[in-house]
């Protein structure tokens, strides 16, 4: 279909998306062609809207459509605890547990020298700035359980400890509902290490 | 993230696409958020462009950005043969073989009573109209080898035969490069039926 420039252009845009190969990009482009005129306009507008209306919260760097995100604006959230995550989606995941009443800090990435991401490329400065007024007592590191997430947690904890702030880390262990047989050795040994009395 | 209406709206749009589940829709929406402003605008415009600039060829109903598609406009293509396919993508697939020099007719679907698609919902009328001036000698049915594609091919061939037009069907058989062991029985028995002398 390369003779149709507008279609090829749309396919190219889809193909640049993560996890979308050529065949899928083609399928999605044809889906767009098959939409009603009004639906296509709405879709197009939704892209612009998401881009122009969504900013980062001035405090926690989470996504927000105002100056502050609903969590930082809330008066019932405990401002003395900050949970540090890599990504806005992680905030959504923790919120779904309904177990956490503190605030968040979204790093927008993890330190990864392989990908040229150093401490300055993620929102660590903004986190340090939040700790200057002594209201924060604990920082919970909830970066991903990967090499990069781990390194980021270690890096930040070394910065915070001299400031007299408690730094904790999410527990490692076997996921609830999973089969022990399929757990990898690292996870299992971490689960053993972190065992608790019953 | 449901507290951010523009983001949720974009996720909803992606989720309506074929083969895109909730997690993927979320991933794609976050990818859009991460785009540069200009890229997001281009993507948005690409959707509108594909929709407004691409029409159907007046003759063969294939996608075209002018009145006629390049194949119908061409003077070197053999106008006495029409290859009938279900979808514009099928035209692209056959063109890639570089073995066919006739024209096409795109039905935009197949007869499927289960999905409420009857002969009037696909471009059969347009095909019949093309046969009125006696230039067409052969119609090759290249609908999909599915129940619906088969039924559509049968339906059309019954309409065309009384008009004195040769109607043929793509050969069934084992796909080149595949393993006989994995061929299904129907394909194998069709391949036996259609065996040729060597």
Q: What is the pLDDT of residue A119?
A: 93
Q: Sorting pLDDT into bands at 50, 70 and 90, what band is A44? A: very high
Q: Which residue of B has its CA nearest to A9?
A: B46
Backbone angles phi, psi at A106, to 5 degrees: -100, 120
Residue A9's nearest CA partner among A21, A26, A34 is A26
Dump pLDDT digits (tens) for A47-59. Answer: 999 988 998 999 9
pLDDT at A2 over 80: no
For residue A35, the chain B residues in CB contact (below 8 A) are: 51
Burial A36-61 (b: 16+ CB within 10 A, else e): eeeebbebbbbbbbbbeebebbebbb
User: Average pLDDT for residues A124-148, to the nearest whole number?
Assistant: 91
CA angle B166, B115, B87 (to 5 degrees): 45
Nearest-Cα distance to chain A for B160, in Å, is 29
Cα–Cα distance measured from residue A147 to residue A137, given in angstroms and rounded to the nearest whole number: 27
> Which of A18, A45, A92 comes nearest B27 by C-beta?
A18
Inter-chain touch A88–B1, beta carbons under 8 Å: yes
User: Average pLDDT for residues A3-15, to the nearest whole number?
Assistant: 89
Quick check: A63 and B4 in contact, CB under 8 A? Answer: yes
Indicate the burial class of B61 (C-beta count within 10 angstroms; 0-12, 13-18, 19 or more).
buried
Quick check: A136 and A72 in contact, CB under 8 A? Answer: no
Inter-chain touch A7–B50, beta carbons under 8 Å: yes
Q: Which residue of A has its CA nearest to B53?
A: A6
Which residues in chain B show pLDDT less than 70? 1-3
Q: Is the ipTM of this complex over 0.85?
A: no
Inter-chain touch B92–A47, beta carbons under 8 Å: no
3-state secondary structure of A119: helix
Dump pLDDT digits (tens) for A73-126. Answer: 999 999 999 999 999 888 988 888 888 999 999 999 999 999 999 999 999 999
Token pair, residue A152, equals 């980021």
Dump pLDDT digits (tens) for A172-184. Answer: 888 887 777 777 8
Residue B73's nearest CA partner among B58, B90, B54 is B58
Cα–Cα distance measured from residue A70 to residue A119, given in angstroms and rounded to the nearest whole number: 27
Mean pLDDT of chain A: 89
Q: What is the pLDDT of residue B1?
A: 46
For residue B18, the chain A residues in CB contact (below 8 A) are: 27-28, 31
Among A22, A51, A77, pick the best mutation site for testing chain B contact (most B Cβ within 10 A): A51
Structural element, H or E, at residue B135: none
Nearest-Cα distance to chain B for A160, in Å, is 29
Q: What is the pLDDT of residue A96?
A: 86
Q: What is the pLDDT of residue B3?
A: 64
Quick check: A102 and A83 in contact, CB under 8 A? Answer: yes
User: Average pLDDT for residues A128-156, to the nearest whole number?
Assistant: 91
Token pair, residue B38, equals 């200009």
pTM of the model: 0.72
pLDDT at A3 over 70: no
């Amino acid at each position: 279909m390369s003779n149709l420039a507008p279609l090829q252009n749309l396919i190219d845009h889809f193909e640049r998306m993560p996890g979308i190969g050529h065949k899928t990009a083609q399928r999605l482009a044809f889906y767009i062609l098959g939409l009603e005129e009004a639906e296509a306009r709405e879709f197009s507008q939704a892209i612009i809207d998401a881009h122009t209306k969504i900013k980062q919260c001035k405090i926690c760097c989470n996504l927000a459509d105002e100056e502050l995100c609903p969590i930082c604006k809330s008066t019932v959230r405990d401002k003395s605890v900050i949970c540090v995550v890599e990504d806005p989606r992680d905030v959504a995941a923790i919120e779904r547990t309904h177990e956490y009443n503190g605030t968040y800090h979204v790093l927008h990435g993890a330190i990864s020298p392989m990908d040229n991401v150093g401490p300055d490329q993620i929102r660590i400065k903004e986190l340090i700035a939040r700790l200057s007024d002594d209201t924060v007592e604990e920082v919970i590191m909830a970066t991903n359980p990967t090499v990069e997430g781990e390194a980021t947690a270690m890096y930040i904890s070394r910065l915070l400890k001299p400031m007299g702030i408690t730094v904790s880390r999410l527990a490692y262990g076997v996921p609830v509902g999973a089969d022990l047989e399929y757990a990898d050795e690292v996870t299992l040994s971490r689960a053993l290490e972190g065992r608790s009395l019953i």
